[in-house]
Amino acid sequence: MNAIAVRAATPADHPRIVDLLTRSWGETVVVGHGVRYDAAELPALLAERRGRLAGLLTYDIGSEGLEVVSIDAVVRHAGVGTALLNAAAELAWAKGLDRLWLITTNDNIDALRFYQRRGMRIEGVTRGGVDASRRLKPGIPLVGDYGIEMHDEITLEMRRPVGSGIAQPG
Ligand SMILES: CC(C)(COP(=O)(O)OP(=O)(O)OC[C@H]1O[C@@H](n2cnc3c(N)ncnc32)[C@H](O)[C@@H]1OP(=O)(O)O)[C@@H](O)C(=O)NCCC(=O)NCCS
């Protein structure tokens, strides 16, 4: 059975979260829309398959809803990203939030496809947003996926479906 289980991360998961983030992003710091996050210190959802870490989603809850700060599938195209995104949306709606959002970069065509296929809509483009983020995190490469120069940030969002979610205190 290859079922993917998603659960909230606990302090015991911290070392492997640091390891996964470092492998994916070079360090645990993630920068977007002018904000520098240490993703290893954020609340997180872990995906596991056969007891092994299969993916990670970190998030931040603020006045604009639940922001997905990072999402990574260890093995791609096996349903891990979908399971994580669905779990984050369920969490947001259960908390009574109306919006899940995230930033991706102009080169990340795979992620743009992934998010839009899962119902997310492009909310805006910040021209030069990646260039600004690079000043906060110089390790952000100049050239990204498919040899595309990385310059701009794209905001995508998903709104709470009418009638879903049970508001919880806190
Ligand atoms: C973006 C990302 C998180 C998506 O995760 P993923 O686990 O590969 O996504 P899924 O497997 O759920 O879905 C991807 C595709 O695989 C397909 N798929 C899902 N389960 C499958 C299975 N069992 N067999 C074959 N294909 C499958 C899905 O149908 C989907 O295709 P579609 O978009 O045409 O519908 C992943 O590509 C990733 O980690 N990227 C690198 C980090 C990154 O860029 N993060 C985003 C930063 S904004």
Return the pLDDT at 163.
78
Q: What is the pLDDT of residue 50?
A: 92
In degrees rounded to 5, what are phi and psi of residue 50? 50, 40
In the chain, the percentage of residues whose pLDDT exceeds 70 is: 96
| pLDDT score of 165 more than 80 | no
**Ligand 1 binding pocket mutation candidate from 82, 102, 155 (most atoms within 8 A of CB):** 82
Q: How is residue 77 written in tokens? A: 């195209």
Residue 1 has pLDDT above 90, yes or no: no
The answer to whether residues 62 and 83 touch, using CB atoms and an 8 Å cutoff, is: no
Q: Two tokens at 70?
A: 């990072």
Query: What are φ and ψ of residue 154, in 5° steps?
Result: -115, 125
CB 100 within 8 A of CB 66: yes
pLDDT digits 0-9 by tens, 101-130? 999 999 999 999 999 999 999 999 999 999
State the Cα–Cα distance between residues 96 and 108, nearest whole angstrom. 30
Question: How confident is residue 40, by pLDDT bands cut at 50, 70 and 90?
Answer: very high
CA of 141 to the centre of ligand 1 (A): 22
Taking CA atoms only, the protein residue closest to ligand 1 atom 21 is 78
HSE-up of residue 34 (Cα within 13 Å, Cβ side): 3
For 4-159, give the CATH class: alpha beta
Query: Residues with beta carbon inside 6 Å of ligand 1?
Result: 24, 71-73, 76-82, 104, 108, 110-111, 113-114, 117
Positive or negative: CA dihedral 158, 160, 162, 164? positive
**Calpha distance 52→39 (Å, rounded):** 20
Check residues 77 and 1 and name the one with the higher pLDDT: 77
CA 120 – ligand 1 centroid, Å: 14
User: Between the CA of residue 107 and those of 24, 143, 150, 154, 158, what are the distances in Å?
Assistant: 16, 8, 6, 10, 21
How high is the mean pLDDT of the chain? 94
Contact at 8 Å (CB) between 100 and 61? no
Q: What pTM was computed for the model?
A: 0.93
Q: What ligand 1 atom has the least distance to the C-alpha of 114?
A: 33
